[in-house]
Every structure is written in C-alpha cells, then in structure tokens.
Amino acid sequence: MCKNSNTSCLLQITLETLKTTLKDDDAFLSFINKPTVPKSYTALHYVSANCTINEIKTLLSFGADPNAITIDGFNLLHCACMGCNLRNVIYIIEE
C-alpha cells in the first residue's frame, strides 16, 4: 500500500479504482489526460503547481502525459513555477 502522504495514497487508490472501473486502457488514459475547460489544464498541471512530488510521480506512473501543453502554452514546469513550488520545479528539471 502507500508509503507516502495521505493525499498521495488517496490519489493512487482513486486512480486504481478508475482504471479498474473503466476496464480499457485507452479510456483511462483519455480520462487522466483530459484537459479542463477553458484553460486546458490536466490533472498533472494542477498537481505540479499545488501538490508534492509524490502526487506527480503517482500521476506519471498511471500514464499522465508530462508533455501536455495548456491553451496558454504552459507545460508542467511552467505550472510548477506559477505555483511557487520549488521542490516540484527541481524534480521536473532533473527528471
């Protein structure tokens, strides 16, 4: 089970449940990488700005697209910078 924060554990359990429920890898990946309206941020964009490295790793392990670009041209690194999340910025640069 999870050895990270409660948020990471909840995210992992939620994603595992969704993957089981959807039963189709393409449908799951489409869901996990679905952009929001109107700015086209994905879950990974939000997590990079507002959560920890553990949540980033969890989403990536489930197939989140690290190269997704928002309608404004922002990538994962931009979002981490906008969230003033230095640990995530360093992680994204190093990975």
pLDDT reported for residue 69:
93
pTM over the 0.85 mark: no
pLDDT in tens, 22-73: 777 788 788 888 887 777 889 899 889 988 898 899 889 889 999 999 999 9
Give yes or no for a cis peptide into 38 (omega within 30° of 0): yes
For the chain, the first-to-last Cα distance in angstroms comes to: 24
Return all residues near 84 (Cβ < 8 A) that are at least 6 apart.
Answer: none
Q: Crossing angle of helices 6-22/25-32, nearest 10°?
A: 140
